[in-house]
């Protein structure tokens, strides 16, 4: 790839939010995108669309639950060219009731939504800390306070929040130009939420635009849409005797 290309790595590149972010980056061009996922066929479909839009695209598959495979993937991608930006966008929305009944489902939800994104971020941070860049991690407003309706998912996203805060704190005491951007989307209209009532869900295009703009600005935290900053500030500060009466 020519050195003039901006290099961006997208982990979980087949997610709807990630795909829309990639289209925005491709429109800015020139850009070299490395798409990381688990399903090669789905990755290739996304890659074909982005190539039509003018992007240079590579595809990489990896086991998202294997720490050694994640490390090897990061090493390989960096050897091909140091990325200026990494977007970590994978996750799934588990069924809370199933997680309560089935510890295997709970484990999988915690792994794919919490542990795996953290491992990817740490693998790339080790390479990028000396040279700078941006690592954007998609968390969720669900991680701001545990709620009965989705507390396993919220716990995973709470892990992502605490990790991002700790990494930001670590880098703040160094000379590194690496920025960590934590994105907290509210409910967004994507295939992951297709089974939910669609009224009130944010358009995926709007959320993607906020992610791209927030990453470019190196913002520590991006609530998408921005109204969720106020909503979650209120929810976080509600006293327990009030919060525990709410069916949310």
Give residue 167's pLDDT: 98
Mean pLDDT, rounded, for 116-137: 98
How far CA 7 is from CA of 54, 77, 149, 176, in Å, comes to 14, 10, 39, 19
Give residue 2's pLDDT: 47
How far CA 195 is from CA of 185, 188, 190, in Å, comes to 18, 12, 10
Quick check: 137 pLDDT over 80?
yes
Give residue 200's pLDDT: 76
- Per DSSP, helices labelled H in the chain are 16-28, 40-52, 67-80, 96-101, 103-110, 116-128, 151-172, 204-217, 227-237, 240-243
Give residue 160's pLDDT: 98
Which architecture characterizes domain 6-243 according to CATH? Answer: 3-Layer(aba) Sandwich (3.40)
- Span of 145-159, 189-203, 212-226 with lowest mean pLDDT: 189-203
| pLDDT band at residue 210 using 50, 70 and 90 as cut-offs | very high
| pLDDT band at residue 1 using 50, 70 and 90 as cut-offs | very low
| pLDDT band at residue 5 using 50, 70 and 90 as cut-offs | confident
Q: Tens of pLDDT along 47-103?
A: 999 999 999 999 999 999 999 999 999 999 999 999 999 999 999 999 999 999 999
Give residue 35's pLDDT: 98
Whether 61 contacts 38, CB under 8 Å: yes
Mean pLDDT, rounded, for 182-193: 86
Give residue 102's pLDDT: 98
The answer to whether the predicted template modeling score (pTM) of the entire model surpasses 0.85 is: yes
Give residue 199's pLDDT: 67
- Domain definitions of the chain by residue range: 6-243
Q: Which two tokens stand for residue 180?
A: 């960590």
Quick check: 202 pLDDT over 80?
yes
Quick check: 3 pLDDT over 90?
no
């Amino acid at each position: 790839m020519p050195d003039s290309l901006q290099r961006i790595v997208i982990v979980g590149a087949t997610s709807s939010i990630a795909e829309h972010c990639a289209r925005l980056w491709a429109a800015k061009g020139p850009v070299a995108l490395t798409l990381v996922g688990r399903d090669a066929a789905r990755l290739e479909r996304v890659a074909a669309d982005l190539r039509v839009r003018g992007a240079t695209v590579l595809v990489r598959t990896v086991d998202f639950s294997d720490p050694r495979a994640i490390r090897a993937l990061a090493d390989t991608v960096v050897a091909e060219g140091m990325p200026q930006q990494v977007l970590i966008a994978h996750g799934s929305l588990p069924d809370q009731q199933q997680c309560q009944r089935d510890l295997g489902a709970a484990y999988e939800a915690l792994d794919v939504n919490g542990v795996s994104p953290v491992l990817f971020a740490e693998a790339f941070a080790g390479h990028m800390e000396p040279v700078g860049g941006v690592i954007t991690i998609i968390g969720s407003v669900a991680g701001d306070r545990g709620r009965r309706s989705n507390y396993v998912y919220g716990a995973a996203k709470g892990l992502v929040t605490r990790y991002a805060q700790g990494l930001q704190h670590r880098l703040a005491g160094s000379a590194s130009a690496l920025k960590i951007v934590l994105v907290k989307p509210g409910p967004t209209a994507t295939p992951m939420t297709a089974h939910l009532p669609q009224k009130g869900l944010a358009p995926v295009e709007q959320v993607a635009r906020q992610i791209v703009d927030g990453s470019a600005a190196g913002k520590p935290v991006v609530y998408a849409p921005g109204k969720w900053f106020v909503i979650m500030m209120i929810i976080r500060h509600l006293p327990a005797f009030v919060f525990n009466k709410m069916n949310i």
